[in-house]
Amino acid sequence: MTNPDTVTVSNFIAAIVDADVKANKNGGKVMTRFPPEPNGYLHIGHAKSICLNFDLAGDFNGLCNLRFDDTNPVKEEQEYIDSIMEDVKWLGFDWEDRLYFSSDYFEKFYEFALRLIRKGKAYVDSLSAEEIREYRGTLTEPGKESPYRNRSVEENLTLFEGMKNGEFPDGQYVLRAKVDMASGNLNMRDPVIYRILHASHHRTGDAWCIYPMYDFAHGQSDSIEGITHSICTLEFEDHRPLYDWFIDELELACHPQQIEFARLNLTYTIMSKRKLVRLVTEGYMNGWDDPRMPTISGLRRRGFTPESIRDFCDRIGVAKKASTVDVALLEHCLREDLNKRANRFMAVLKPLKVVIENYPEGDVDLLDAVNNPEDPGAGTRKVPFSKVLYIEQDDFMEEPPKKFFRLAPGREVRLRYGYFITCIDVVKDKDTGEVIELRCTYDPETRGGNAPDGRKVKATLHWVSAEHGLQAEVRLYSHLFVKENPADGKDGEDFTAHINPDSLEILDNCCVEPSLGEMKPEEICQFERLGYFCADRYDCTKEKLVFNRTVTLRDTWARLKKKS
């Protein structure tokens, strides 16, 4: 456990908590929670909140709960609960035995409501949802009081009990807090706190046909759990007076402090569950964990590591002002992590056949290859070299322009870990004229990649022996949207109009070096010169190798930093 005296206060929330601990507020205790609503999968924005809540608790000898805010029976599902728990664990956090559900507190919320009614601080309203909206007023005009606002306590108690007992249809009555219809804060204008909803809840079944509204459940759940610092995103800033009002009026012993921070937005993607669910249900994506999704499970399937996501959350920091983070930073964090630990291999994505004319038929040369130049402990492996090889189609040009230094007729290049080869002839398809094979010679003196006479070549190509290589499917992913801020709505178009039609390219005839046959699902490696790839979590098997491109090697973030 950390000694609070040595904690580095890394953001304004940590500074508040630090001051509270030093002042012995809450007896010096720190208790936080991560409170997802189980109505979708977690995304990278949630990761920011998870890291913040768990790390704050960790840094100040506190604890962090996982609490499902499951007060809306209509949109919630067990699948979401399971995925959320799996994702939080995968990120590396542990709620131990502190798994809670707001629905476990339904009885308590009901008691709280009765308490407010008895105090004359809540009433049953007969206005329709639309009338309530009309009566609410606007930012510039005060609201009007409901004609039912002054029902007697007895009448309110009887009606509310009737609501609970299922005597009325959905929408006939609501319970409202009696706060202030003239308040400058719309949330304080007698907010609805209970509604009738004849719907089955995934945990409480048909036990209830009235459900508390979010605002009436969240703060009270925090208080019940002894949360000291209730951290939430900025859109709840205007709800804070109401949060405090409920806890004060209910005279609850524990009064958590609500602190707001700006939510994470990332370029070229969207973050709202309401929109993400559309990508899935309308068939734009192959599920919530499609490797193009900004969900934790999507990033995981794509090959992101928990370490890189946590590092990213550290670096973006926590602020009060909304901003959009460049997705290049997230990718940069990933590259830094993978560069240290991903072993290198050779894989040819778009194979072009190369026949080495002067190499003896049937011979195999086992060449030594370094697994990871960044990690001497990773060792070496043998890569088979033989008469027929594949190189990348892109690495050859029949008529190369000035700056193309790779293979061309008459030119010599190096094969990684292998030999120098020279292209002496080109074989083309008779009908299409397409180059289908290169005839080359090799220099046996250059084994290992250097010429004894000191002559230089300008390019080193990756390659795979045709006889030894394994066939694989490789899925190349790029940004999900073509627009930096697809959700800004400024152009009046639905965000789906900006989906990148080329966000997935499947190459099903790739050839990878034999060692890659040993890759286990979710294992990550680097294909030399091409990027980092991971064996698909579900589809990669011994019989059929399937790799996802996690990220290319080009670090646009590092470049940007260098320039500025």
Active site residue ranges: 37, 263, 273
Query: Restricting to residues 244-263, which ones interact with ligand ATP according to CB under 6 A?
Result: 263
**CB-side neighbour CA atoms (13 Å) of 207:** 11
Q: State the Cα torsion 340-345-351-355 to the nearest 10°.
A: 140
User: With 0-12 CB in 10 A as exposed, 13-18 as middle and 19+ as buried, what is 264?
Assistant: buried
Per CB under 6 A, which region of 5-13, 29-37, 310-318, 347-355 contacts ligand ATP?
A: 29-37
Note whether 394 and 359 are within 8 A (CB).
Answer: no
Tell which one of 29, 37, 326, 514 touches ligand ATP (CB under 6 A): 37
How many residues of this chain interact with ligand ATP, rule: CB under 6 A?
Answer: 15
Instruction: State which residue, 235 or 493, has the beta carbon closest to ligand ATP.
Output: 235
Write out the DSSP string of 145-163: --TTTT--HHHHHHHHHHH
Shortest approach of ligand ATP to residue 76 CB, angstroms? 10
Instruction: State which residue, 74 or 366, has the beta carbon closest to ligand ATP.
Output: 74
| Residue closest to ligand ATP when measured from CB atoms | 45
Query: Restricting to residues 216-235, which ones interact with ligand ATP according to CB under 6 A?
Result: 232-233
Shortest approach of ligand ATP to residue 53 CB, angstroms? 8
Instruction: State which residue, 72 or 371, has the beta carbon closest to ligand ATP.
Output: 72
Tell which one of 48, 255, 335, 344 touches ligand ATP (CB under 6 A): 48
Q: Take residue 460 and report the two structure tokens written for it.
A: 């080193």
Tell which one of 91, 264, 334, 415 touches ligand ATP (CB under 6 A): 264
Q: At what angle do helices 106-118 and 214-224 cross, to 10 degrees?
A: 110
Shortest approach of ligand ATP to residue 265 CB, angstroms? 7
Instruction: State which residue, 48 or 406, has the beta carbon closest to ligand ATP.
Output: 48
Instruction: Sketch the per residue contact string, 98 through 117, with ligand ATP: x for CB under 6 A, - otherwise.
Output: --------------------
Query: Restricting to residues 265-284, which ones interact with ligand ATP according to CB under 6 A?
Result: 271-274
Cβ atoms within 10 Å, residue 540: 21
Of 108, 307, 134, nearest to 208 (Cα)? 108
CA–chain centroid gap for 306, Å, is 10
Place of tokens 């002054």: 150
Q: Is 149 in the site for ligand ATP (CB under 6 A)?
A: no
Shortest approach of ligand ATP to residue 37 CB, angstroms? 4
Whole-number Å distance between alpha carbons of 540 and 423: 35
Q: At what angle do helices 153-164 and 106-118 cross, to 10 degrees?
A: 160
Per CB under 6 A, which region of 2-10, 31-39, 170-178, 242-250 contacts ligand ATP?
A: 31-39
Instruction: State which residue, 481 or 547, has the beta carbon closest to ligand ATP.
Output: 481
Tell which one of 26, 32, 49, 257 touches ligand ATP (CB under 6 A): 49
Shortest approach of ligand ATP to residue 70 CB, angstroms? 10
Instruction: State which residue, 232 or 511, has the beta carbon closest to ligand ATP.
Output: 232
Q: Is 35 in the site for ligand ATP (CB under 6 A)?
A: yes
Q: Take residue 459 and report the two structure tokens written for it.
A: 């390019």
Q: Is 45 in the site for ligand ATP (CB under 6 A)?
A: yes
Handedness of CA 474, 516, 286, 309 (dihedral sign): negative
Write out the DSSP string of 149-216: TT--HHHHHHHHHHHHTT-S-TTS-EEEE---TT-SSGGGSS-EEEEE----BTTTBTS-SEEE-HHH
Q: Take residue 279 and report the two structure tokens written for it.
A: 């990508």
Q: By the criterion CB under 6 A, which residues form the site for ligand ATP?
A: 35-37, 45-46, 48-49, 232-233, 263-264, 271-274
